[in-house]
A and B are shown apart, each in its own frame.
Chain A
Amino acid sequence: MMKQEKNYSYRGSILGKVLPTVLFTIVLICTPGIISATSKGQRDVALRWGHTSLGMLSGSSPYDTGLSAGVTVGVNRRLEFIVTGGTEVVPVPFRTGYVLAELSLAVLGDRVLDGGYAGSLLNTHVALGIMASPHGIDHGFGPSHLVLTITPLSLGTPLEGRRENLMKMGVAWAFREQQPSFSFFWNLYSIDTYLSGTWRDVSRVSTPTP
């Protein structure tokens, strides 16, 4: 049974035009800096893949199943920048999808410590992001949702080289709809495989600062 398609349209308001532009500009400005820092070996970088829900997108089926993949980049001890792309797999592969840029805060403790020491093995992450997806009457691709999520259980650290993120959930605010609405957004699991910033790359040259 197809879900009734949402009536998306551009809003003639500040939220509809200015906010997405500002947020996307911020993302575009931040990204090169983060990548630059990463290339100098200062950041931990991981490939992420896992499950995703797609119920917030127009043209998706109820209860459909998607997969996501992307990159996470450590900004500092607590923050990381994450860019993921998600696509529908079941029941119709690649029918719809999204790109999501998030800034994630580790709540329970530092992700990493100086001097090559691991941060908190168990952690909780809160993330705020902007999602781009097909929307509007012509289903043009562009900023469409603000997403606030919490990942209650995150196992592993960059230093270990691997991290599992379980039961990430939150809300997606479709701010460009004619009548903005909130949808539930969740990821059953995602797995981060670290390319840099692991124990292989870090030499213990300094002591950790508390």
Chain B
Amino acid sequence: MKKRILVWAFMGAFVCLLAMGTLSAHKKEVSTVALHPWGYGLSFAGAGRSVGTMPTGKTSYEAVFLGSFFFAISPWDLPFLNPSLRTTLSVGVGSHGVQVHDASAVLGIEIIRTLNHPLGFMVTNKAVWAPSLTVGGSYLFGYRPDAKEGWHMLLEASPLKLSHRDFVYEWLVPYAHVDVRQHTIAEWGIVLYRGTVLI
């Protein structure tokens, strides 16, 4: 029941955002439709989680290095609350070898899109700063016997997101796979770099 409510809440929020975008475009009589609405790209991340207690009493941790491939849809260029969708497949390199780590589908909201920002030094050309929040579902594959396999909620915050006309840079994006039933974080990590080519 809770899952259904959650799914309907996500769908409702997304429909509302679509409606807002359409109305906004209509009201201003200016096209806010993105010139390049589709995207694909690669990202690299470090993920870690607690795996138990060592004989010394200290908590031990496992780390995985992730390479991810994703598709993204960003249909509008709204100045506020600009929505996007992304589906991702991540492959992990760790002590268990190379394996599919997780698959996810998320809804992202760019809180603001502005050219007036202090992060211009990070890229050569003029870029839009578009800090975003992301929420969605992820499936963690059981790459180890003690891994928390199953569905999780994926939360992300991307403060360093700079968008060009046909390319998007993101650095240092913290994220967490949340076990909604147990109210715990199954895994967390940081996306070092995410590059999206818009087409």
Contacts and interface: CB of A to CB of B under 8 A. Distances in A.
A193 B122 contact: yes
Give the residue among B45, B49, B121 with the most A Cβ atoms within 10 A. B121
A2 B54 contact: yes
B157 interface: no
B62 interface: yes
Interface of A: 1-2, 51, 61-65, 67, 89-92, 156, 160-162, 188-189, 191, 193
A78 B152 CA distance: 51
Contacts of A191: 122
A158 B63 CA distance: 36
B63 A91 contact: yes
Interface residues of B, number: 28
16 contacts: A1-B62, A51-B193, A61-B61, A61-B62, A64-B48, A65-B190, A65-B192, A90-B47, A91-B48, A91-B61, A91-B63, A92-B61, A160-B124, A188-B44, A189-B193, A191-B122
B60 interface: yes
A191 B172 CA distance: 13
B136 to A, nearest CB: 21
Contacts of A1: 51, 60, 62, 95
B101 to A, nearest CB: 12
Give 5 nearest A-B pairs by CB, closest first.
Answer: A65-B46, A91-B48, A91-B61, A90-B46, A90-B48
Interface of B: 44-51, 54, 60-65, 93-95, 121-124, 172, 188-190, 192-193
Give the residue among A51, A90, A161, A191 with the most B Cβ atoms within 10 A. A90
Contact of A63 (B50, B51, B54, B64): B64
Nearest to A50: B192
Contacts of B47: 90
Give the residue among A61, A91, A156 with the most B Cβ atoms within 10 A. A91
B124 to A, nearest CB: 6
Contacts of A156: 124
